[in-house]
Amino acid sequence: MLKDVVKGLWRENPIFVQVLGMCPALAVTTRSIFGLSMGMATTFVLVSSSVVVSLIRKAVPPQVRIPMYTVVIATFVTAADYFLKANFFEISKALGPYVPLIVVNCLILGRAEAFASKNGVLRSFLDAAGMGIGFTAGLVILGSARELLGAGSLFGVRVMGEGFTNWIIMVLPAGAFITLGLLVGVFNLADQKIKKDTACHVTEKSG
Amino acid sequence: MIKNFFKSDVIKMISALAVVGVFSAITLVFVYEYSMPKIEENIRRATDEGIKSIFPEADTVEEMKHKGVFEVRGQDKNLMGYAFIAEGNGYQGPIQVIAGVDPGLRTMTGLQILESQETPGLGAEIAGDFRKQFSGLSVVDEIECIKNREPDKPGEIEAITGATISSQAVVNMLNNRLAELRDKLGVK
């Protein structure tokens, strides 16, 4: 059970390992707060649609499953978009078209098709929650790195001294690719090291 | 054969899709009912706050017979100027702003962005320092959007680095709307 949650955080992290949902990951991560709100909106859609897809999985004729999942996802995306507009007007204005675009985030249809349509409600919920948290964490890390270097602040609070010159390139699209590339590299490096360490550990034990 | 086919798969598919569609529609009706008043309230408040920030001493704001143009009067009922809504296409979608100008349509008193879908951190910065350049800007001649140097003539605005299209879009919509206003209000 726990494995379902944890795999989204590390081994199958949507951003750094599966490289899914790149459109919002690259476009809205100019500020950490945008990364966080985008991640939370996506997590909401992901969790709700996974639960619903899992609930209706036995009643869905396989030929029309994709359109049915899409309708479910689009409903939750619209709900999230209106909720943000009603309660977090400023953030919703800043995220612009990227909230409605969650509907085409392949992470969501991917989890519905690969996991929720084959597993029970609880496991689908855990899977979606893990993936959502992993996705949100990825967006926040990306957003924080870019905001720190590109604007000298974190979550809107200035942390760099007055002498710091903003690296404009970091808030430009090129900065998104550079940061993402480096982070994927770091992630792989860390992953390899962990694998190596555990491998050694196992041999020691067996030896 | 054909009869069986219709009895089984096609009907099943259609009814499954119909059920999901109906449920989705019902959900969205509730979401819409809950959020629409709040969203309209947010938009109205943004317009009000926009005018207030452009004309801090405004007492009465009245929409004129020209849509999206507001007459702003101070406490002694003197005309302080006009606030007007301008729209145009930015880099990623429509941009809507509210701007203030003196009664003679010579100097702008300020600018607020009401709606934009520009890239966060880039074009969206039209709502930041860029916007402030418009306070006290001379609009006797057309506003000009310049790049890579400090503005040194009246009526010049420095574009945002990396967001020239968004900057130019704001300048263009203001120029268009100001020309229109001169015409409508009969100010030379």
Q: How confident is the model at residue B31 (pLDDT cuts 50, 70, 90)?
A: very high
Answer whether A75 sits within 8 Å of B124, measured CB to CB.
no
Render A60-119 in DSSP notation, one character per residue. Answer: S-GGGHHHHHHHHHHHHHHHHHHHHHHH-HHHHHHHGGGTGGGGG-HHHHHHIIIIITTS
B23 CB neighbours in chain A (<8 A) are: 75
The parent domain of residue B175 ranges over 52-185
DSSP A194: H
Tokens found for residue B10: 């096609």
User: Is B130 inside a domain boundary?
Assistant: yes
- Which chain A residues are closer than 8 Å to B21 by Cβ? 71
Whether residue B157 is contained in a domain is answered as yes
- CA distance to partner chain A, nearest, from residue B8 (Å): 11
The sign of the dihedral angle between the CA atoms of A30, A31, A32, A37 is negative
Whether B38 maps to a domain, the answer reads no
- What is chain B's length? 188
**Per the domain annotation, does B128 fall within a domain?**
yes
Task: Report yes or no: A53 and A112 within 8 Å, Cβ to Cβ.
Answer: yes
Q: Which residues make Cβ contacts (< 8 Å) with residue B166, sequence separation at least 6?
A: B90, B91, B95, B116, B118, B122, B123, B126, B160
pLDDT at residue A205 above 60?
Answer: no
**Confidence band of B169 (pLDDT split at 50, 70, 90):** very high
| Mean pLDDT for the stretch of residues A108-130 | 93
Q: Which residues in chain B have Cβ-Cβ distances shorter than 8 Å to A95?
A: 120
Nearest to B139 by CA among B103, B167, B113, B163: B103
In this prediction, residues B125-148 reach a mean pLDDT of 88
How high is the pLDDT of residue B7? 67
| B133-to-B52, B123, B148, B167 alpha-carbon distances in Å | 18, 16, 15, 12
Residue B166 lies in a domain: yes
Contact call for residues A152 and A166 (beta carbons, < 8 A): yes
Q: What is the mean pLDDT of residues A135-147?
A: 94
Residue B188 has pLDDT above 70, yes or no: no
pLDDT at A126 over 90: yes
User: For chain A, what's the residue count?
Assistant: 207
Does the residue B64 lie in any domain? yes
Q: Phi and psi of B67, rounded to 5°?
A: -65, 135
As for how many domains chain B has, the answer is 1
Q: Would the CB atoms of A96 and B32 count as touching at under 8 Å? A: no
Q: Which residues of B fall within a CB distance of 8 Å from A78?
A: 28, 31
Q: Is residue B4 part of a domain?
A: no
Q: How many CA atoms lie within 13 A of B99 on its CB side?
A: 29
A56 has a chain B CB within 8 A of its CB: yes
In chain B, what percentage of residues exceed pLDDT 70?
Answer: 95
Instruction: Return the pLDDT at A140.
Output: 95
* Mean pLDDT of all residues in B75-83: 88
**What is the rounded CA–CA span in Å between residue B63 and residue B70?**
4
Q: Looking at the predicted structure, is the pLDDT value of residue A206 above 50?
A: no
Picking from B28, B36, B117, the nearest residue to A78 by CB comes out as: B28
Output Rg (C-alpha) for chain A, integer angstroms. 19
Tokens 């900065």: give the residue: A175
Closest approach of A175 to chain B, Cα-based (Å): 12
The residue with tokens 């299209």 is: B165
**Residue type at position A84:** L
Candidates A177, A67, A71; CA nearest to B27 is A71
Q: Given a cut of 60, is residue A204 above it in pLDDT?
A: no
Is residue A144 a contact partner of residue A35, using CB atoms and an 8 Å limit?
yes
A80 falls in which pLDDT band (50, 70, 90)?
very high
| Rounded-to-integer distance, Cα B170 and Cα B173, Å | 5
Between CA A16 and CA B112 the distance in angstroms is 39
Q: Is the pLDDT of residue A12 over 50?
A: yes
pTM, two decimals, is: 0.77
ipTM of this predicted structure: 0.77
Domain-located, residue B136: yes
Q: Which of B32, B39, B120 sits opposite A28 (nearest CB)?
A: B120
